[in-house]
Amino acid sequence: MIPLRRGVQILTTALRYRLDTIPQALQIDHWTRYLFPTSLLPTPQISEAKRCRLAIERLGPVFIKFGQLLSTRRDLLPEEYADELARLQDRVPPFPSAMAISTIETEIGRPLTDSFATFSEQPLASASLAQVHEATLTSGEEVVVKVIRPGIAGVIKKDLALILALAKLLERFFSDARRLHLIRVVEDYEKTILAELDLLRESANTVRLQRNFETSPLLYVPKVYDDLSSVNVLVMERVKGVPISDLETLRRRGTDLKKLAERGVETFFVQVFNDNFFHADMHPGNIFVDVSDPANPSYIAIDCAIIGQLTKEDQAYLARNIVAFFNEDYAEIAKLHTESGWISAKTDAREFESTIRQLCQPFFQRPLAEISFGSFLIALFSAARRFDMEVQPQLVLLQKTLLNIEGLGRQLYPDLNLWATAKPFMEKWMREHYGPGAILKTVVDQGPGLIELLPRIPELLITGSRQLPELGRLAVEQKQAMENLTSALLSERRRRRRARVAGAVLVVAGLGLLWESFMEVIAIGGDNMTATAGIAATLVGSVLVGRG
């Protein structure tokens, strides 16, 4: 019931803001005209871009998060739309300050004035899930206070219920949806966005990220005041930097934008591969620049609610793929995809290698301004259908972060060559983790265990050779059992389908008999035999349909 109600609200919002005119304005196939007679509705006098932003704001945080991601993709959107959606970063309509103060006092368990010498009732920024106020502690430190929007959890859960229902529907009827693992993607996103509502988690993430870059000139993370923070309130050091989207100010202060863009790429790769702990919500509203030394600018990161981590296997797989991309080793890429199980082992390796070559070749040795990862991903997913390649849900967060990084890079320094910037880092990482030195270190670390195992090697070899035939026999039996189970399931499915068809025929026949009986009673006054037969047929048919 909740998804249906929310679905009606979304449709109503789309009609209210006449979102059906946007495809036509963007010169996209205007298919909506076949569904609704929307041309009969009045068109608002404000622009399509602004109506799009207002509709997203009205629909709430799940949609706002999507709008924030789109706002960084100026290569995919007209400038007017990108500018409007950029307002979603930190200019979402605020909730009343009295509610924020009440939440703070409830969370810290004492009056506001006991902890804060000053507190600005005018929000410094207002985002989809929370808003931020400037304040000063009684000890004199300047801070910002982040407060979760009251009642926002219920709204999010309703939206997620709708999206999950849609994902289940799509996976049921479309093979592409199953290949993309839509249900699991939505479930992972649910965990991610609900985690944003726990500011204690964000506090812990902030502290860890701060420690990771404690001695690095790349990134600064503000201090957290744990004694004043809780699930719904987070108090942090007030940092003063230039918003990364404010290019005019960055240029006026003589900021080295090329170096800043290169450091952004390096910061991302350090987080993903060295620390395995990356800020996964790097939209412009969360990133500032320290320009106290314009020749050596550094980043300031806030809002560490969404953090991504990878398994060692995913790290290694990604690193080897990236290095193979840089080296244009398409055979290695095809091999890695097969070994990881992303594509079927039956796939023609040469054909897949040729497809990857056609997709990747145009992207190499070109400046970032001429490369669109969004377009590349679309082309890759389109080609993947031919090979039944599956999108791995655990990497969706990383893909989202990559899109954000690309958007930021385009704004800062469009001529940045991403490949030239990242390749040395990745080659160094591979040497450190999979080179001779790394292998020697592993052997030394595992030395005591290997020495203990050496006397048992002959026994293990003999035992293993004896067990191999038994394992083969068990594998054959398991395969036969799976085939029998599959056959039984198909038979049961056919039986249920026949039962449903028979039931439907009986229901129709029963309703026909009831109608005939009803007409006879009206016309000449008939007996109850036809009616009884009609009721019986309808009941039996209903049971068959239900059981089928």
Amino acid (1-letter code) at residue 123: P
* Confidence (pTM): 0.68
For strands 219-220 and 298-301, give the pairing. parallel
Give pLDDT, residue 454.
63
Whether 349 and 358 have beta carbons less than 8 Å apart is answered as: no
Round to whole Å and give the CA distance between 221 and 204: 12
Q: Where are the alpha helices (DSSP H) in 93-140?
A: 97-108
Provide the residue count of the chain.
Answer: 548
- Show the tokens assigned to 160: 């997620």
Bridge partners for 118 per DSSP: 136
Q: Note if 226 is an active site residue.
A: no
**Backbone conformation region of residue 18, classed left if phi is above 0, alpha if psi is from -120 to 50, else beta:** left
Give pLDDT, residue 523.
46
Element (H, E) at 373: helix 373-384
Give pLDDT, residue 1.
47
Give pLDDT, residue 251.
94
For strands 242-243 and 298-301, give the pairing. unpaired
CA 455 to centroid of chain Cα atoms: 50
Could you tell me which residues come within 8 angstroms of residue 509 by beta carbon, excluding any fewer than 6 positions away? Answer: 534, 537, 541
Domain ranges, ordered by start, for the chain: 2-86, 97-150+198-308, 312-440, 458-547
Instruction: Count CB neighbours of 49 within 10 A.
Output: 20
Written as tens digits, the pLDDT of the chain (548 aa) is 445 677 777 888 888 888 777 766 555 544 445 545 555 666 677 888 898 888 888 888 778 877 776 776 665 677 788 888 878 766 678 889 999 999 999 999 999 999 999 999 999 888 878 999 999 999 999 999 999 999 888 888 888 888 888 888 888 877 766 766 778 777 877 887 888 889 999 999 999 999 999 999 999 999 999 999 999 999 999 998 999 989 999 999 999 999 998 898 889 889 988 999 999 888 777 899 999 999 999 999 998 988 888 888 888 888 887 788 777 787 887 888 777 777 777 777 788 888 878 877 776 656 555 666 556 665 666 666 677 666 665 666 777 777 777 777 777 887 777 667 777 888 888 888 776 765 666 566 566 665 666 676 676 666 666 666 666 666 666 666 666 666 666 666 666 666 655 555 555 555 554 445 544 544 444 445 555 555 555 555 555 445 55
- 3-state secondary structure string, 325-340? HHCCCHHHHHHHHHHH
Q: Which long-range contacts (CB under 8 A, 24 or more apart) does 46-50 make?
A: 47/80, 48/21, 48/22, 48/81, 49/78, 49/80, 49/81, 49/83, 49/84, 49/85, 50/84
Give pLDDT, residue 164.
85
Q: Is 342 helix (H, G, I), strand (E, B) or coil?
A: coil
Give pLDDT, residue 446.
61
Give pLDDT, residue 431.
83
Whether 340 and 326 have beta carbons less than 8 Å apart is answered as: no
Catalytic residue among 281, 314, 329, 348: 281
Whether 302 and 239 have beta carbons less than 8 Å apart is answered as: yes
Instruction: Count CB neighbours of 527 within 10 A.
Output: 10
CA 230 to centroid of chain Cα atoms: 26
Give pLDDT, residue 115.
93
Fold adopted by 97-150+198-308: Phosphorylase Kinase; domain 1 (3.30.200)
Instruction: Burial-class residue 490 by CB neighbours within 10 Å (0-12, 13-18, 19+).
Output: exposed
Give pLDDT, residue 114.
93
Most distant CA pair in the chain, distance: 101
Instruction: Give Cα separations from 165 to 3, 65, 187 (angstroms).
Output: 7, 19, 11
Could you tell me which residues come within 8 angstroms of residue 28 by beta carbon, excluding any fewer than 6 positions away? Answer: none
